[in-house]
Amino acid sequence: MIQRLVCASVALMIIVNATAQTTQKTTAATTPGYDITATVAPFKNTWLYLGTYYGKYKTLADSAMADANGTAVFKGNKKLDKGIYFLVSPDKAILFEILMDDKQHFTVKADTAHSENISFTGSEENTNFQNYTRFLAQHVPTLTKLQAQLKDAKNALDSAQIMGDIARENKVLDDYREGIIKNNPTSMLALFFKSVKRPEVPAGMDRNSKEAFYFVKEHFWDDLAFDDARLLHTPFFDPKIDEYFKYYVSPEPDSVKEEVNYILLSARTNKDMFQYLLGKFTDKYINPEIMGQDKVFLFLFDNFYSKGDTAWLKPDQRKYIFNRAYSLMANQLGEAAPALNLTDTSGKIHSLYDLQAPFTFVVFWDPNCSHCKTEVPRVDSIYEAKWKAAGVKVYAVNTSDAAVQEWKNFINEHHLDTWTHVYQTKEAKTADEQANRPNYRQLYDVFQTPTMYLLDKDKRIIAKGLSILQFDEVMNHQTKAGTK
């Protein structure tokens, strides 16, 4: 219960900063463009700026010079995108937020010394927004004080009483917001209130139960339309997506793919929202934090990019995405590792698949790479201490054909005698290029060193992209599982 109430307070503060929005369909205003006159004390004869949110970013929308009376006029022939905007001071500090709906011809007067007295003329949305802001200003201090008291409560009885006070205060705020939603259902404020809501677990359901978890997950997006681009210009839409994927989606790639696909298909009718979300998920999974989630990026590539959803990309972006996809296709977890037939220090060719072992550790490294000089001996330390006894074999690939002597010297100096050491000769590299065959760099996504893989007895990829210690944890898990 305490955690729920604390979260309610956090959500409240999000609304204070982000505040409210409207339904998806609105009546287009007949007045073209935008004309916003802002008089903000004490700024005179200086630049003021109009900014907006764009997902997790803040962007500049316009700038205007305040005259000797402190009045600046933001004006343009084309309407601004709808959403939450903010006025910015000459030193780049956000002064206050503004709701931008269809009516974009209005005036605003404010004094930074008395922020509670902001007034709007010609914008009912912003007048309602300021009324709500004043309402919050009356209640947030009380909630903040109660939260502090709860933290310092000396016994269960005091805690229960304070929690009751917090619940009542939250209800006052909830009732206010529900009143806006009920009485002005098509307003931007109502849209924003609905969008930041979290599903309430039904009375009688254990909030810590699996049933409650799935209830919240099932209803998490009930009041949010992914094709409504106004949400893109708010500070709470992007964090809400992150929250959902962090707490309500299994990190297993197939689960993530299902959720991502649902969101993208839901957003597809709005170009701006679709492009932002596709870009967001691409950024997240093209180089994922969790091993194996690059499968989600390949899903995006196969189902969107490779099918033509690339016209909006810059040429360098498109090239990077396509090259990255081609570099990941051959080295996915659970798949057979690509064949390698490379040359050892004496000129003899060794095949990766000729190594017979319960596990094979493949490391691509450069003898002149400072990080490799540290990491390769660490691999050898763990290998000698644990992996060798478990039957692990190491297939080590020198990625620099120009540093053959340095490579041989490093092997000798560090006594890496029991590994299979190989590299691709210039002749073999040229043959691959002439035959238009992918080389090991593309097949194993080797664009930095060291790059490492752990394979099972059938040369299927068990792990990749981990630290040495993380690889060791995977080995421990695999060997324990093998003894059961």
pLDDT tens profile 337-366: 999 999 999 999 999 999 999 999 999 999
| Ordered strands of the 451-455 beta sheet | 349-351, 341-343, 420-423, 393-398, 360-365, 451-455, 461-464
In whole angstroms, give the CA distance from residue 151 to residue 2. Answer: 10
In whole angstroms, give the CA distance from residue 365 to residue 371. Answer: 9
> In Å, how far are 252, 291, 314, 387 from 249, measured between CA atoms?
8, 16, 31, 34
Please tell me the pTM assigned to this model.
0.84
Same domain, 5 and 149: yes
Neighbours of 231 (CB within 10 A): 29
Q: Is residue 110 part of a domain?
A: yes
In whole angstroms, give the CA distance from residue 288 to residue 318. Answer: 19
In the chain, the number of structural domains is: 3
Q: Is residue 203 part of a domain?
A: no
DSSP 8-state code for residue 204: T
Q: Is residue 296 part of a domain?
A: yes
User: Are 244 and 220 within 8 A, CB to CB?
Assistant: yes
Report the pLDDT value the prediction gives residue 30, as an integer from 0 to 100: 55
Same domain, 91 and 175: yes
Task: Give yes or no for a cis peptide into 42 (omega within 30° of 0).
Answer: yes
Neighbours of 388 (CB within 10 A): 14
Burial of 311 (0-12, 13-18, 19+ CB in 10 A): exposed
Q: Is residue 148 part of a domain?
A: yes
Same domain, 322 and 298: yes
Q: Is the pLDDT of residue 105 over 90?
A: yes
List all residues 6 or more positions away from 81 whose beta carbon is below 8 Å from its beta carbon. 52, 100, 229, 230, 232, 233, 272
Same domain, 42 and 167: yes
Same domain, 230 and 272: yes
Mean pLDDT of the chain: 90
Report the pLDDT value the prediction gives residue 212, as an integer from 0 to 100: 94
Same domain, 44 and 93: yes
- Percent pLDDT > 70 in the chain is 93
In whole angstroms, give the CA distance from residue 45 to residue 372. Answer: 58
Positive or negative torsion for Cα 75, 80, 82, 88:
negative
Report the pLDDT value the prediction gives residue 25, as an integer from 0 to 100: 37
Tokens linked to 329: 């296709």
Give the residue numbers spanning the domain of 96. Answer: 1-198
Helix (H) or strand (E) holding 141: helix 124-151
Report the pLDDT value the prediction gives residue 20, as an integer from 0 to 100: 32
Task: Give yes or no for a cis peptide into 315 (omega within 30° of 0).
Answer: no
Q: Is residue 204 part of a domain?
A: no
Q: Among 11-15, 92-96, 140-144, 443-447, whose mean pLDDT is lowest?
A: 11-15
Same domain, 234 and 193: no
Q: Is the pLDDT of residue 290 over 90?
A: yes
Q: Is residue 88 part of a domain?
A: yes
Same domain, 19 and 132: yes
What is the total residue count of the chain?
484
- Mean pLDDT value of segment 156-175: 88
**Domain final position from 198, 231, 251:** 198
Same domain, 320 and 418: no
Give bridge partners of residue 397 from the DSSP assignment. 364, 422
In whole angstroms, give the CA distance from residue 467 to residue 305. Answer: 31
Rg (CA), the chain: 30
The angle subtended at Cα 135 by Cα 133 and Cα 137, nearest 5°, is: 70
pLDDT band at residue 419 under the 50/70/90 scheme: very high
Tokens linked to 302: 């196969």
**Domain final position from 328, 350, 367:** 328
Phi, then psi, of 310 in degrees rounded to 5 = -130, 0
Nearest to 384 by CA among 412, 359, 416, 408: 416
Tokens linked to 214: 């799935």
Q: Is residue 334 part of a domain?
A: no
Quick: pLDDT tens for 7-54: 322 222 222 233 333 333 333 445 789 999 999 999 999 999 999 999
CATH number for position 376: 3.40.30.10
Report the pLDDT value the prediction gives residue 8, as an integer from 0 to 100: 29
CATH number for position 168: 2.60.40.10
**Domain final position from 163, 198, 233:** 198
Same domain, 410 and 309: no
Same domain, 188 and 214: no
Same domain, 151 and 41: yes
Q: Is residue 333 part of a domain?
A: no
In whole angstroms, give the CA distance from residue 333 to residue 315. Answer: 30
- Mean pLDDT value of segment 454-483: 91
